[in-house]
Amino acid sequence: MTSRPKGALLPDWNILLLKLVATPTLILLASLAGRRWGESVGGWFVGLPLTSGPVVFFLAIEQGTGFAAATTRGSLAGVAAEAGFCLAYGLAARTSRWPGAIAAGSLAFALAATILAAARLAVLPLVTLAIAALALSLALLPRFESDTAALPAPPFWDLPARMAVATVLVLGLTELAPYAGPLLSGLFATYPAFAAVLTAFAHARSGPAAAMRVLRGLMIGSFAGFFIVLGATIQPLGTGPGFAAGGLLAVLVQGCSLWLLRRPRHPRR
pLDDT in the model for residue 6: 46
pLDDT in the model for residue 89: 96
Whether 103 is covered by a domain: the verdict is no
Global confidence as pTM: 0.74
Ordered per-residue pLDDT tens for the chain, 269 residues: 444 444 443 446 666 776 677 777 877 777 777 677 776 676 767 667 766 777 788 778 777 888 888 888 888 888 899 999 999 999 999 999 999 999 999 999 999 988 988 888 888 888 899 889 999 999 999 988 765 554 556 666 767 877 787 777 767 766 776 677 777 777 777 788 777 888 888 898 888 998 998 898 888 766 778 888 888 899 999 988 998 888 888 778 767 766 665 565 554 44
Whether 150 is covered by a domain: the verdict is no
Which stretch of DSSP H or E encloses residue 46? none
pLDDT in the model for residue 101: 96
Whether 198 is covered by a domain: the verdict is yes
Whether 250 is covered by a domain: the verdict is yes
Within 8 A by CB and 6+ apart from 197, the residues are 27, 162, 165, 166, 169
pLDDT in the model for residue 35: 73
The domain total for the chain is: 1
Whether 93 is covered by a domain: the verdict is no
User: Which domain range does residue 227 map to?
Assistant: 9-76+159-262
Whether 97 is covered by a domain: the verdict is no
Whether 38 is covered by a domain: the verdict is yes
DSSP H helices, 93-221, are 98-119, 123-140, 158-176, 182-189, 193-206, 208-220
How far does the chain reach from its first CA to its final CA, in angstroms?
A: 64
Whether 118 is covered by a domain: the verdict is no
pLDDT in the model for residue 5: 47
Task: Judge residue 67's burial from the number of C-beta atoms within 10 Å of its C-beta, 0-12 exposed, 13-18 middle, 19 or more buried.
Answer: middle
What are the distances in angstroms from CA 51 to CA 149, 156, 202? 35, 26, 22
Contacts from 241-250 at CB under 8 Å and sequence distance 24+? 242/65, 243/53, 243/57, 246/49, 246/53, 247/53, 249/225, 250/48, 250/49, 250/53, 250/223, 250/225, 250/226
